[in-house]
Structure 1
Amino acid sequence: MTQVYFHRSTTKKVFLDHHGAEVSDLAEARDHATRLVQSFINERSLEDWRDWVLHVSDDQGDELFVVPFMFVLGKPH
């Protein structure tokens, strides 16, 4: 198991994840990241999520991958 952190940001804001989650591999980290993005998007909010990015980092602070919220949102209609 590996501890990973899911920080989110825009060009104007950064929110650090101080708790993280234990995952067994990158596939589990990716699935968790996608669920997190979906939960933020589904909140009742006036936030425009199109510019947000989720940064997934290991316990050493090394970035493993990013998930732009647009990848989960899809194309605007």
Structure 2
Amino acid sequence: MTRIFFHCSNARKVILDYRGTMVDDLADARDHATRVVQSFTNERSLADWRDWVLHVSDDQGDELFVVPFTFVLGKPN
């Protein structure tokens, strides 16, 4: 298992994940990343999440991949 960090940002703000989450592999990290995006968009009251990106990094600070919120949210109605 590896500790992975899920940081969110847009051009105006950064939300850091200081605790991280233990994952088994990249597929597990991808699934968790999707849940993080869904959690933010369901619980926070910002009107538009389309410019946000989730940065997935390892415990050395190396970025493994990014997930634009639009990948999870889909096209706007």
Both structures adopt the same fold (TM-score exceeding 0.5): yes
Runs of 4+ off more than 6 Å:
none
What's the TM-score, normalizing by structure 2?
0.95
What's the TM-score, normalizing by structure 1?
0.95
- Kindly state the Cα deviation for residue 43 of structure 1 after the two structures are TM-superposed: 1.4
- What amino acid is aligned across from residue 73 of structure 2 in structure 1? L
- Kindly state the Cα deviation for residue 46 of structure 1 after the two structures are TM-superposed: 3.1
Gaps spanning 5+ residues in structure 2: where?
none
Inter-partner Cα distance in structure 2 for 1:42 and 1:4: 22
Gaps spanning 5+ residues in structure 1: where?
none
Inter-partner Cα distance in structure 2 for 1:4 and 1:55: 10
Where do 1:13-24 residues align within 5 Å?
Answer: 13-24=13-24
Structure 2 equivalent of residue 68 of structure 1:
68
Inter-partner Cα distance in structure 1 for 2:24 and 2:44: 31
> How many residue pairs align between the two structures?
77
- Kindly state the Cα deviation for residue 44 of structure 1 after the two structures are TM-superposed: 5.0
Structure 2 equivalent of residue 58 of structure 1:
58
- Provide the alpha-carbon RMSD of the alignment: 1.0
Q: Percent identity?
A: 75
